[in-house]
Structure 1
């Protein structure tokens, strides 16, 4: 299949039938193609909406093992009830199943393949903003962190441009190989809350098919706030860069931190702060096996008699994982 989803604006169901013998030669013969609509309303129902050829007594040919098909989505709308639209199929979580049977010219045995769970969805993407803080401080850089996922499989998708809007400032990061994006905003308003809007901007995708989400962050009401930024994935044996942001004249002496993994403290450290230090403070933290598969960095400092703290989660990968194998 060319795509594993159907949008309300999709005009065609398309794909390629590939048929090869086990020894590599491509099949020349005949094929049968059917498409079923699986409804997920009160009672799950399956309706055949297309088949080719229309009769089992007829033959449709495949040559050299390849056959393209392109079927109008009119076959879907024709199967809907009065007043129903493609948007209704999205709302109820409906899907398509495509079944193909192929036989060679001299054989009487059919080989079949089924592609199921081709979902109706409003966008091919999903943006998850769980990693973004819901609090901000006007004096500290605010970071919007999110993951771009496939809306059907929920797997990360890379190289998807996303427009991130906070106030009147727009940043346009692309998702990386883990589907992650980060956008930093230096000048945050003095308001009591801010809205962050994230919208995919994939070229070739219609505006109504882009995914968009908005969340609200509240102004931190404490007297001081420290934010922490780290690489979202650490690698055992390497250093992870951590950036601590705080009000420049607040820190009394140093920042202390500890790292917790699987309910245990696995590392502790101290970051000296020189008197009069201004701006961010960076520190490299060694990643160890004890931090697998994920850990939390907890840091704090004293502001007079007040304890100021914050924490952040990060994942840890073992570079040796998957290198061992067994041969029988």
Structure 2
């Protein structure tokens, strides 16, 4: 009996020691995981290159775990903006609330939800505009990128080394994007995968041609220097053509945005001339339907003008 009691006490003490060790390991592992998430998501009290501290760190961490947060993160990664998904979401909500309150105070309560939707559309349109702007800048740098790769390849450097050298010499956004490609190659990704991710982030016909040339040359070899030289000249010609087309269509694009602004301005002017006219108009179903139809026609006109002025070069 004495031996059984001692054995029971010993087993109990051993279980307690193992339980304390397990709790300690679990807590330390959880703390390390939280620190790793903070580093990877660039949140918390980390100071960025520009000296700015991230805001809404806790909310940003929770938002990244949702589907909406992941979609916003993908959109932001293609724009080059120094924003986290949490910051963008908070700013977007503030914009929607501000436009909602302004519309209610200046026009009528009926326009609050409409201007809230306009704020939501504006926020995501801003991301699309920034992404397109970054793509345009990258396309303008493609001739120089192709020239650097041709010179490096002619000097006997491997394609991986040439890409790393181009990432150091070129400015943003090409330098930043090629740095991501070089980092992907450094951790074991193939050239096809790394360049394919670059093509997904910044899709364009010029980049597709360059990526295809580099991938084929890495697979089958061949006169990659001559191909890159010819591609450089072609990209320079396309760059000038795109600039001419953009200049010719600038007036049309300005008209597409000026017409809706004139319509909203005319509505505000009417309310100033006849105080309370918008309130009386939106107090009935027919007036509300007329406003919705007119705004829909303005939006349709904007879309049609943008589609007609969109020329792929």
Which of the five TM-score ranges fits, normalised by the shorter chain? under 0.3
- TM-score if structure 1 supplies the norm length? 0.23
Higher helix share: 2
Rg larger for = 2
- TM-score if structure 2 supplies the norm length? 0.24
